[in-house]
Structure 1
Amino acid sequence: MRTIVMTGASRGIGRIAAERILRRSPDVHLVVVARGSSGTALSTALRADGHEVSFVSADLGSLASVRTAAIEICDRLAAGDLPPLCGFVGNAGIQYTNAQTTGPEGFESTFTVNVLANHLFVRLLGDHCTVPGRIVITVSDTHFGDFRHNMGMVPGPAWQSPDVMARIGAFRDPHTVAAGRTAYSTSKLAAIYLVHEYARRLPAGIDAIAYNPGFVPGTDLARDADPASRFAMRHILPIMTLTPLATSRRAAGRYLADVVLGDIAAPTGSYVDRSQVARSSEESYDRQREAEIWDAGECFLAAYAD
């Protein structure tokens, strides 16, 4: 038996991926990290066919909550209550309608959920991960910043010092939807930078992969958006999955599971675009920024990662 820890498994591509992981690998004990009631319902549903599933409660918008969840998992691993850890899947993500929402620690919430929460899990769980192991972080092709990858719906990233990006007001007109979407694409660029750093810093045999599902309409990513946008994402834009411009939830979830299980071969540090290893944007290969976001993350999380 082996353990995989996963965030963002409650709905959308994460739920499909979780079901596929358990179906294809009955030796996996899946630990799902989610908020209270949704996590209880999820773990109960995933156990229905006799699978090994545990639930750990956490609010990914709170670093203190993430730390508590990660320490609980570490304690269970150390005590032998969970089989050896072989993977972490940071699939949870959020996109706000502004760039001025903050979490309890004062960091901008998009940055907290999409960057810092994953980094804290990796830092706290890393010492417990066995070889071979795999860390998979779900990113987004919005980080390219061009029409081909975002169809004009999401502004490209606007990189700044992490000390600035981690706080509210980092982007122009922070109260606007455009600023919220800029914060999202920028956070996904930061996540790719961190994957490159993990590839260099993690022990040999523990691989780090950035997974891009493409544009997946019909998910709850835009759950914080206005009613019209939510309606369009759930009921109108899914028609685009009939074209190469979008990925269905089922396909995106299947690809994610295959990346996690190693069925899609990808060397550490790779960017997997749906089912293929590909190059991310030229901007995403920048050793200075990669070191910069690592150092900032270590500073921001110093009080939580000990």
Structure 2
Amino acid sequence: MQHTLVMTGASRGIGRVAAEHILRRSDHAHLLVVARGASGARLAAELGAGGHAVSHVSADLGSLGSVRSAATAIRDRLDRGELPPLRGFVGNAGTQYTNALTETPDGFESTFAVNVLANHLFVRLLQDRFVAPARIVITASDTHFGDFRHNLGMVPPPAWKSPDVLVRTGAFPEPDTAAGGRTAYATSKLAAIYLVHEYARRLPTGIDAVAYNPGFVPGTGLARDAGPLTRFAMRRVLPLLALTPFATSSNAAGRYLADIVLGTTRAPTGSYVDRGRADRSSPESYDLRREGELWEAAERFTAASAAGAEA
């Protein structure tokens, strides 16, 4: 049966590899890519070469208003029958800044807005359009463990605070430094796992939610806002780690992501999938109080945008 999969972060890195695998391995998938500006049309044309069913919608994930517009457009296209039934959402896009002071037009800290709130708003606005069985996959990160074994000391551990603090700039020590930006990133990925647990509890039966950890993937676009030395290391030096157990190549990480989306990897709702298998996330990531608190806060932060889309 033809079905629609909505995907963010498909333009490069593991997302691009995953998108190509999904289209190559599923004749029934219509892939709807979410991308900024004119890049969406170009990406859809490239992925659609060879007769694959691909379309696009434009969105700036740093703007909740833009996310709302994109989700509304998808809902309308589904309702008009222009798209086959919705069976999946892949929230793969992510960002990392060299500080914790970058602010979105909505007044939110940008890392938290893109890595947490944009996904949440998409999920909530598309929730009643999913047709079971459906799967939501949110790309997380093993930086949420906060230990040397998982990130080689390259990223500080998450520093959880009230979501009302995390959503604002300057939430961490030395917010104007790269360490502050990396702390914001690790914390946002912990938040993503918390929300996946809440989705597993709250979404209707047949709509599964899974967090995916690709491992450390050198050469992705996450360092694009870093300085020239860091960008050079990420592109030219650190990719050599993919030859060791400490890192994952983009090709392997993209294939793992496609396996989860297509159901090849067994993962019950609420799972944390570490590359190719379901596993336990960090002990800190299982906290019912924080999960409920974050759900309530994410609902508040996105309420105006959600109401505008459903009006």
Q: Quick check: TM above 0.5?
A: yes
Shift of residue 36 of structure 1? 1.4
CA deviation vs aligned residue, 1:20-69 (integer Å, no higher than 9, x gap) = 00000011000000011221211010110101101100000000000000
Secondary structure, counterpart of 2:195 in structure 1: helix
The total of aligned residue pairs comes to: 306
Alignment-mate amino acid for residue 170 of structure 1? A
Secondary structure, counterpart of 1:303 in structure 2: helix
Alignment-mate amino acid for residue 3 of structure 2? R
Cα distance in 1, alignment partners of residues 250 and 273 from structure 2: 16
Cα distance in 1, alignment partners of residues 277 and 197 from structure 2: 18
| Equivalent in the alignment of 2:299 | 298
CA deviation vs aligned residue, 1:242-269 (integer Å, no higher than 9, x gap) = 1000000000000000000100010000
| Equivalent in the alignment of 1:75 | 76
| Equivalent in the alignment of 2:86 | 85
CA deviation vs aligned residue, 1:91-126 (integer Å, no higher than 9, x gap) = 000000000000000000000000000000000001
Cα distance in 2, alignment partners of residues 194 and 305 from structure 1: 17
Please tell me whether residue 64 in structure 1 is matched to residue 65 in structure 2. Answer: yes
Cα distance in 2, alignment partners of residues 47 and 158 from structure 1: 42
TM-score by length of 2: 0.98
Please tell me whether residue 272 in structure 1 is matched to residue 276 in structure 2. Answer: no
| Equivalent in the alignment of 1:47 | 48
Cα distance in 2, alignment partners of residues 254 and 12 from structure 1: 11
| Equivalent in the alignment of 1:16 | 17
Cα distance in 1, alignment partners of residues 219 and 101 from structure 2: 25
| Equivalent in the alignment of 2:222 | 221
Please tell me whether residue 263 in structure 1 is matched to residue 282 in structure 2. Answer: no
| Equivalent in the alignment of 2:231 | 230
Structure 2 unpaired stretches of 5+ = none
Structure 1 unpaired stretches of 5+ = none
Please tell me whether residue 163 in structure 1 is matched to residue 164 in structure 2. Answer: yes
Please tell me whether residue 110 in structure 1 is matched to residue 100 in structure 2. Answer: no
Structure 1 segments, 4+ long, off by >2 Å, are: none
Cα distance in 1, alignment partners of residues 13 and 40 from structure 2: 14
| Equivalent in the alignment of 2:135 | 134
Cα distance in 2, alignment partners of residues 155 and 49 from structure 1: 44
TM-score by length of 1: 0.99
Does structure 1 conserve the Cα–Cα contact (< 8 Å) formed by 2:156 and 2:179? yes
Cα distance in 1, alignment partners of residues 306 and 292 from structure 2: 18
Does structure 1 conserve the Cα–Cα contact (< 8 Å) formed by 2:41 and 2:55? no
Identical counterparts, % of pairs: 72
Please tell me whether residue 125 in structure 1 is matched to residue 123 in structure 2. Answer: no
Shift of residue 231 of structure 1? 0.7
CA deviation vs aligned residue, 1:62-92 (integer Å, no higher than 9, x gap) = 0000000000000000111100000000000
Cα distance in 2, alignment partners of residues 200 and 62 from structure 1: 27
Cα distance in 2, alignment partners of residues 232 and 39 from structure 1: 29
Cα distance in 2, alignment partners of residues 254 and 240 from structure 1: 18
CA deviation vs aligned residue, 1:169-227 (integer Å, no higher than 9, x gap) = 10001100000000000000000000000000001111000000000001111111111
Secondary structure, counterpart of 2:138 in structure 1: strand
Cα distance in 1, alignment partners of residues 100 and 113 from structure 2: 12
State the superposition RMSD in angstroms: 0.5
Cα distance in 2, alignment partners of residues 293 and 227 from structure 1: 35
Secondary structure, counterpart of 2:112 in structure 1: helix
| Equivalent in the alignment of 1:150 | 151
Alignment-mate amino acid for residue 232 of structure 1? A
Cα distance in 2, alignment partners of residues 160 and 36 from structure 1: 34
| Equivalent in the alignment of 2:212 | 211
CA deviation vs aligned residue, 1:137-193 (integer Å, no higher than 9, x gap) = 000000000000010100010000000000001000110000000000000000000
Alignment-mate amino acid for residue 281 of structure 2? S
Cα distance in 2, alignment partners of residues 168 and 46 from structure 1: 37
Cα distance in 1, alignment partners of residues 208 and 303 from structure 2: 24
